[in-house]
Chain A
Amino acid sequence: MRTERVRTVVGHVVLMFGVVVSIFPFYWMLVMASNTTPDIFAYPPKLVVGSHLFENMGHVLDNIDFFGAMLITLVASLGVTVLVLFFDSLAAFAFAKYEFPGRDMLFGVLLATFMIPTQLALVPQFVTLAEFGWIGSLKALIIPGAANAFGIFWMRQYAKGAIPDELISAAKVDGAGFFRQYLTVGLPVLRPGLAFLGIFTFINVWNDYLWPLIVMTDPNKLTLQVALQQLNGVYGTDYSMVMAGALMSVIPLIGVFIIGGRHFIADIAAGAMKF
């Protein structure tokens, strides 16, 4: 019994140490964002939160169009998320619950697309979008990502278990067509799965860097991540301001995550187990 207790304590010590390592960079970000740059560069460095946070945040707003970038990022993230939720769940519903000629072949093709790294298509994708005249516009951020294989695969696994065949039969008897069945039977049952896919997609688009770096060429229309890097590049010496910008960019997402994160983590793990 005693060794059991010792082991529990050791376990918590290990875990708490890990928590400190996980959280420390955020604390350090706050320390740098709330002190003046000369204070950060002093030796020994200041390790506590200072009083210049709002002043540094103000500098960020003076130097980049922070809220403009945030708005673009928000529109892109929401746009992709809404489209992905609709297209992916609709496809998943069909794949999971209906027999149709070529279904398994189509699903096999879909799975095969997992193998293609996004960077492989980067150059020709850019060329294609340039042909369309989409470079620099929100369309370039939203449309190519509007449906994805991961989401369909994941929602299909979810739909298989979550939607009882009887419900679909009942809807059929009532004379509902396929889309009616999707709306009345599929969507309500799939809601928890949609919540996960929605948060997952939103976070990914919000944090994406390489794609917006390539397609958002207009300096007045940058996403948050690219604008942040510009701040870092041009004013690299004003660390306090750069960190204030970084802090402002991570707070909204972390807030959303802490509120809705519990189920999300369980679903991430469940998703991995299904592969």
Chain B
Amino acid sequence: MSANTPDGPPNRFRQAMPQYAAVSPFFILFAIFGAFPVLFSIWLSLHSWDGIGQLKWVGLEQYSYLLTDPSFWKSITNTLLIWVISTVPMLLLALVIANALHNATRFRSFYRIAYFIPNITSVVAVTMVFGSIFSNNFGLLNAFLQSIGLDKIEWLSQPWGIKIAIASIVAWRWTGYNAIIFLAGLQAISSDIYEAAKVDGASSRQMFWRITVPLLRPVILFTAVTSTIGGLQIFTESQVLFGSSGAIGGPGDGGLTIVSYLYDSAFGKNQFGYGAAIGWALFILIVLFSVINWRLIGGGDDDRITSRVRRRANRKIAAEKAAADSQTAGKEHADAH
């Protein structure tokens, strides 16, 4: 499509036709499989529908029922508890590992691959292994507890045990991934800043809290937000552990997550409208928690804080340099005499 087509003056839109064609597959696919379904799900969530018969208008009643549904609240509490007991230790451990990786000069690529392998392994296979480790009667964990003289714990029969088992799978899969992300953040911090702090007599703890953590803020924010979004969408772990046992959330619904409740409502019980409404509740939660994360970690202040730390460090480096220069200059001066 050249600008000099005979049928008219150069037209910016016509000229850009190839570019529009290039970006269109995404927008077409998104319209059909993203935007339309999302809009349709608003409509669907206001109806009662079994997937075959007529849609029956129930309006906002669907949502008021949702808000009084004990199973829904249970799924939310479960999901949040699993999220907290997996994410907090996971991010702290990742930070420790990243620090060790940053300082290690040998075996680096071996470590990185070893730490990343859990992340690329299928959740289904991993959950089966963890399921056997946490197994009530014959599990490795209980065998270990017994061997050191403790009592067995019925991990997969009680609400807390179930949550700990699921959280362990999540943490095991994502700690290494987050460590690699933190490591990249650490490597982006200039060593001059640490040198300057060292000259000032800063302890390594001070350097960690005053330099590493503030400069790592954008990266920490990224991992916190992605962990939140991932954590709120937990499904496969509880489905593989309990999906074939009849009750989708396991004994006492201790492993019922929001997505597993959505899946069970829509595809188990054929309540498609209700499933759509749960989807919207999930969306609101994700937005809410992303905003909270953003606030807590001070995402909005990132630029200000990092640039302040950087400026201060740069000033110090300049001052050191000036002092060193004047000293050598003074020495040369003295030598000359």
Contacts and interface: CB of A to CB of B under 8 A. Distances in A.
Contacts of B107: 12, 15
B115 A123 contact: no
A275 B124 CA distance: 29
Contact of B282 (A19, A28, A120, A209): A120
Interface stretch (B70-78, B182-190, B301-309, B319-327): B182-190
A257 B119 CA distance: 11
A48 interface: no
A122 interface: yes
B233 A229 contact: no
Interface in A124-174: 124-128, 143-144, 146-149, 152
Interface in B200-257: 219, 222-223, 229, 232-233, 235-236, 239-240, 243-244
Which of B40, B114, B259 has the most chain A CB atoms inside 10 A of its CB? B114
Contact of A268 (B16, B22, B36, B177): B177
A258 B115 CA distance: 12
Which of B18, B22, B263, B279 has the most chain A CB atoms inside 10 A of its CB? B22
Nearest to A129: B33
B240 to A, nearest CB: 6
A128 B132 contact: no
A124 B121 CA distance: 29
A214 interface: yes
Interface stretch (A60-68, A176-184, A190-198): A176-184
- The size bracket of the interface on A is 35 or more
B140 A28 contact: yes
Given A233-B244, A246-B125, A43 B34 contact: no
A29 B236 contact: no
Contact of A123 (B32, B124, B244, B272): B272
A182 B130 CA distance: 47
A15 B188 contact: no
Interface residues of B, number: 96
B113 interface: yes
Which of B37, B101, B123, B143 has the most chain A CB atoms inside 10 A of its CB? B37
Given A147-B25, A178-B22, A229-B240, A254 B129 contact: no
Contact of B147 (A12, A44, A224): A44
Contacts of B32: 128, 144
A113 B33 CA distance: 12
Contacts of A15: 97, 100-101, 104, 107, 111
B283 interface: yes
Nearest to A214: B267
Interface in A1-59: 7-8, 11-12, 14-15, 18-19, 21-23, 25-26, 28-29, 32, 40-41, 43-45
Contacts of A268: 116, 177, 180-181
A123 B44 contact: yes
Given A101-B13, A124-B276, A178 B180 contact: no
A106 B123 CA distance: 35
B65 interface: no
Contacts of A270: 184
A94 B181 contact: no
Contacts of B33: 121, 125, 128, 143-144
Nearest to A13: B100
A269 B133 CA distance: 31
A229 B175 CA distance: 25
26 contacts: A22-B115, A22-B117, A23-B117, A25-B126, A28-B140, A43-B138, A100-B20, A109-B27, A113-B34, A115-B287, A119-B233, A121-B37, A122-B266, A123-B37, A127-B272, A147-B26, A149-B30, A203-B120, A207-B123, A253-B121, A265-B112, A265-B180, A268-B177, A268-B180, A269-B184, A272-B219
**Which 8 pairs between the two chains have the least Cβ-Cβ distance?**
A233-B244, A178-B18, A100-B16, A269-B184, A124-B37, A121-B37, A246-B125, A94-B22
